[in-house]
Amino acid sequence: MSVQNPSRLLDLAGKHLLRDDALAFSALEDLPTELFPHLFMEAFHGRHSETLKAMVQAWPFVRLPLGGLIDMPHMGPLQAVLEALDGLLAQKVRSRRCKLRVLDLRDTGQNFWSIWSGASSYERSSSRMVPVAEQSSTAKRHLAPLKIFMDLCLKKRTLDNFLTYLLRWVEQRKASVHLCCKKLKISAMPMDNVVKILSMVQLDCIQEVQVNWIWHLSTLATFASFLGKMSNLQRLCLSPIHLSAFTKQEQDHLVQITSQFLRLGHLQDLHLDYPSFLEGFLDQMLRCLKSPLSNLSITNCWLTESDLTYLSQSPNISQLKGLDLSGVTMTDFNPEILHVLLEKVEATLQELDLDLCGITDSQLEAILPALSRCSQLRYFSLCENFLSMAVMEKLLRHTAGLPCLTQERYPAPQESYRSQGVLLEGRLAQLRAQLLEVLRDLGHPRIIWISPSPCLHCGGLMKKPHQETLEAVLDGLDVLLAQKVQPRKCKLRVLDLRNTGQDFWNI
């Protein structure tokens, strides 16, 4: 007698039940737990809406990872599930089997479905995904609000049908349904719509916020009132923030923004790209941080020497693992400031990015002793700074003893260029060979990247790949293309990503 594949048996059982909705409904109460996920997938992909509703109301797990089944939101299955939840929420006494507390619409849960969908699920399910033990009492239970988890990506000017339908459904059931979001990404959407959405979200669930859109300081101040309620926020990325002129009103906005950091007791990663409002006011923001940061990125902006001095003295950077100050010009700063800054973080620092900072020979020499003590350093980048060959040799010798350093990115030595900033390819090849000899003499195998600057004196706007900035531009083009009538002033027909156009920007 042949033994059929258990996976094949699951398929046959599922298809048999789904031929008759009445049969499927009657079988749910006694259906083995391990058959629920497989039958749910069959019903979902076969669009058996009534069976889906019945299965949701008898779901024997705490979490239903619906987002793991769909590549993009489909209204049909979602409507069926929400209608089933309506029935569930209306029940004073819930089904004995139903343990559902969380509807997860994030792109997660694939492991759940793969574990339960194969023949080996019978053997593995008890150890890897155990349903909640059933309560012996059938007495009426007071249930906590149902939670709906989803990641919000607000990248269109108007809400799509999926989000509109879901938000309206949640708004009508505020007392019994909580909308929870751990990751929030905003680009292009007007602040009025953002405010409407955030007013329906459990803000203390948010752990990561990323803004990739040009905001004025007043817009960020409006958002800050919500930011302060994100008490469990761990990662905040803002790019870019525009400041036309620093008036009394803008100063009030800055106070309104920085004061909200006092409420972010779990903030670990802070990334600010093009923060034009920070110049001369970095201390005001750092004083409001409640706990030490793990990663700090302040890039492509002007800071004063006093700003950098305060940063080097701040107690909230003493445990930094990542520090990125690329695009912050430091040419005229006292070299001792960078030395003190590195001393502060030398015990924990793993990644250091000082690209395009205008760092001079004297400044680099000043930080070499502290740099050589950064025993955890894994990544160090100094690209697009103007350094001599002699100082670069010193750099290689000082970093030779760092046990974890595996990625090193340095600029071409200044001797590789003519006085007009023209790269001499042959001379660069000779200098690279000399640096290779230095590495051989040190006797420690290393791989380093020597990268010539695109242009020392002019350069295009994108002097290094910057994905978030490009995404913001493309989001803006999406909005433009969607408009039936373009703005009167807009003449844009070509986006040029080639390394050209320097004359345009210089003019």
pLDDT in tens, 344-384: 999 999 999 999 999 999 999 999 999 999 999 999 999 99
CA dist., res. 177 & res. 174, Å (int): 5
Residue 40 host element (H or E): helix 36-45
Q: Domain of 397?
A: 343-458+482-500
In 260-338, where do the E strands start and end? 269-273, 295-299, 322-324
With beta carbons less than 8 A apart as the criterion, state whether 322 and 374 touch. Answer: no
According to the model, what pLDDT value does residue 507 have?
41
Quote the tokens at residue 392.
């670069």
In a domain, 307, yes or no: no
Element (H, E) at 216: strand 208-216
374-391 pLDDT per residue, tens = 999 999 999 999 999 999
pLDDT at 24: 55
Question: Lowest-pLDDT range, 256-270, 281-295, 433-447, 463-477?
Answer: 463-477
Residue where a domain stops, chosen among 117, 139, 172 = 117
122 in a structural domain: no
According to the model, what pLDDT value does residue 449 have? 92
pLDDT confidence tier of residue 117, bands split at 50, 70 and 90: low
What residue type is assigned to position 238 of the chain?
A: L
**Per-residue pLDDT at 124:** 36
What percentage of the chain carries pLDDT values higher than 70?
78
- Domain's final residue, options 117, 147, 166: 117
Buried b (16+ CB within 10 A) or exposed e, 52-64: bbbbbbbbbbebb
| CA angle at 384 for the pair 372 and 354, rounded to the nearest 5° | 40
Query: pLDDT grade, residue 288 (50/70/90)?
Result: very high
Q: What is the pLDDT of residue 30?
A: 75
Among 34-48, 185-199, 246-260, 286-300, the least confident range: 34-48
Report the C-alpha gap between 474 and 20 in whole angstroms.
Answer: 49
What is the domain-level CATH number for residue 419?
A: 3.80.10.10
Cα 250 vs. chain centroid, distance in angstroms? 28
Mean pLDDT of the chain: 82
Query: Is 98 among the domain residues?
Result: yes
Question: How confident is residue 265, by pLDDT bands cut at 50, 70 and 90?
Answer: very high
Q: What are the structure tokens assigned to 216, written together?
A: 């004025």
Higher pLDDT, 282 or 97: 282
71 versus 249: which is more confidently predicted?
Answer: 249
- Written in H, E and C, the secondary structure of 354-370 is CCCCCCCHHHHHHHHHH
Half-sphere exposure of 42 (CA within 13 A, CB side): 22
Q: Of the segments 17-26, 45-54, 434-443, which one has the largest average pLDDT value?
A: 434-443
The answer as to whether 425 is a domain residue is yes
pTM score, two decimals? 0.80
- What is the per-residue pLDDT across 325-343, written as a single tens digit (0 to 9) for each? 999 999 999 999 999 999 9
pLDDT of residue 1: 43
Cα→Cα distances 32→35, 39, 95, 115, Å: 6, 11, 16, 15
Q: Which residue did the predictor score with more confidence, 245 or 283?
A: 283
DSSP 398-464: HTTT-TT--EEEEEPPGGGB-TTS-B-HHHHHHHHHHHHHHHHHHT----EEEE--S-SS---S-SS
Quote the CA–CA distance of 350 and 206 in Å, as a whole number.
Answer: 27
Q: Which amino acid is at 331?
A: T
- Examine the pLDDT at 464 and tell me if it is beyond 50: no
pLDDT of 484 higher than 60: no
The tokens describing 324, both together, are 């990125």
Question: Which residue would you say has higher pLDDT here, 336 or 157?
Answer: 336
Bigger pLDDT: 272 vs 76 = 272
**How many domains, the chain?**
2
pLDDT, tens digit (0-9, with 9 covering 90-100), for 163-172: 888 899 999 9
pLDDT at 46: 79
Instruction: Tell me how far apart the alpha carbons of residues 421 and 277 are, in angstroms, rounded to a whole number.
Output: 32
Residue 207 structure tokens: 């752990």
Domain boundary among 69, 92, 117: 117
Is residue 57, in this structure, part of any structural domain at all? Answer: yes
| pLDDT reported for residue 458 | 34
Angle subtended by helix axes 305-313 and 335-345, to nearest 10: 20
Region 266-283 average pLDDT = 94
Residue 457: the pLDDT is 37
CA distance 369 to 226: 44
For residue 250, being part of any structural domain is answered with no
Query: What is the structure's pLDDT at 130?
Result: 40
β-sheet with 201-202: strand ranges across: 63-64, 102-104, 146-149, 177-180, 201-202
pLDDT computed for residue 11 by the predictor: 57
CB 207 within 8 A of CB 179: no
Does residue 375 fall inside a structural domain? yes
Q: Which of 146, 145, 200, 166 is nearest to 78 (CA)?
A: 166
The residues pairing with 112 across neighbouring beta strands, listed in sequence order, are: none
Rounded CA gap, 197 and 156, in Å?
13
Q: Provide the greatest CA pair distance for the chain.
A: 88
Position 272 in a domain: no
